[in-house]
Amino acid sequence: MSNRRLTWSRRSLLNGAVGAAVVLGLTGSTGPAEPFPRSAADRRTGNDKWLRAASFNIHHGASPDDVLDLERIARRIEALNVDVIGLQEVDRFWKRSDHVDQPAWLSRRLGLHVAFGLNELRRSDGAGRRREYGTAILSRWPIRETRNVALPRWDDHARHGLLRTEIDMPGGSLSFATTHLIHAHHDEERAAQAKAVAKQFADDARRSVVVGDFNDEPNTPAIAAMTRRFTDAWAVAGSGKGYSYSSTKPKRRIDYVFGSEDLEPRAMTVDDTDPRASDHLPILTEFEL
């Protein structure tokens, strides 16, 4: 990708976005010549009793000072050695990200299966393609089902969604989802969105993981809505404060990995290896199934 400097702000683009949150998933798989490396835990034990799950807000492939470099993002994901990862702030066909279909590009580059959840839709990019913005999931295992669920929205605020997938992993199915809730100063709306996320798993929360940028601190109504149904992996397996934002001066824990009760978090970390890859740091959890 190019390393040009971008001059417009992410928030101005989001606040002016129009379009509908729809049930849409870009699903598919691209098999690498060699299988994607098994997790470190799998290599230790020689079985599939472990799951490495991560979350990463990639800021449409740009650094904190808006230098675009999607390859840098790919290298960070590759180094995490994940089984499955949820991404937020993902572009398709935007000028600001060189008109690249980012989920498809990352799928090819990393040799992972992909699903995309469309939340914001803009008019044509000039080449007859719709500019799309949302979330994505990359998985070492095949993605069997994909559904993007619209979350509550007040007034003319940006649209947000929950991207849900069913993944065929060894030993059975994994329900894996990612989301990106509304930003600060909209506490009640964000709490309503979190409640809607948790409600999606009301009937069956077995072998389920929800990750994302929740834009809220622990001990808030939004996070309480999630922890009534899921385990906050950092609270069980993390060490320290778990700050992931901002990447260069981490002072807030707003990125989360939540797991169902039948998944035991054994280790969790905030990866600060390359803090200038995005404006968030990726977070990684290792579950025992």
pLDDT digits 0-9 by tens, 149-203: 999 999 999 999 999 999 999 889 999 999 999 998 899 999 999 999 999 999 8
pLDDT at 282: 98
Reported as a single tens digit per residue, the pLDDT across 75-97 is 999 999 999 999 999 999 999 99
Residue 190 and residue 179 in contact, taking contact as beta carbons nearer than 8 Å: no
Residue 78 is predicted with a pLDDT of 98
Low-confidence ranges of the chain (pLDDT < 50): 1-46
Please name each of the domains of the chain with its CATH number. Answer: 10-288 (3.60.10.10)
Q: In angstroms, rounded to a whole number, what is the distance separating the alpha carbons of residues 167 and 145?
A: 7
Distances (CA, A) of 275 to 154, 213, 253: 33, 17, 15
> What pLDDT score was predicted for residue 203?
84
Q: What is the pLDDT of residue 165?
A: 98
Give the residue among 208, 130, 204, 202 at the shortest CA–CA distance from 167: 208
pLDDT of residue 125: 64
C-alpha span between 107 and 120 (Å, rounded): 21
Looking at residue 32, its pLDDT comes to: 32
Output the pLDDT for position 94: 93
Q: What is the pLDDT of residue 121?
A: 87
Q: Measure CA 58 to chain center.
A: 8
How many of the other CB atoms lie within 10 Å of CB of 45?
12
Q: What is the pLDDT of residue 56?
A: 99
Round to whole Å and give the CA distance between 282 and 80: 9
The pLDDT assigned to 204 comes to 77
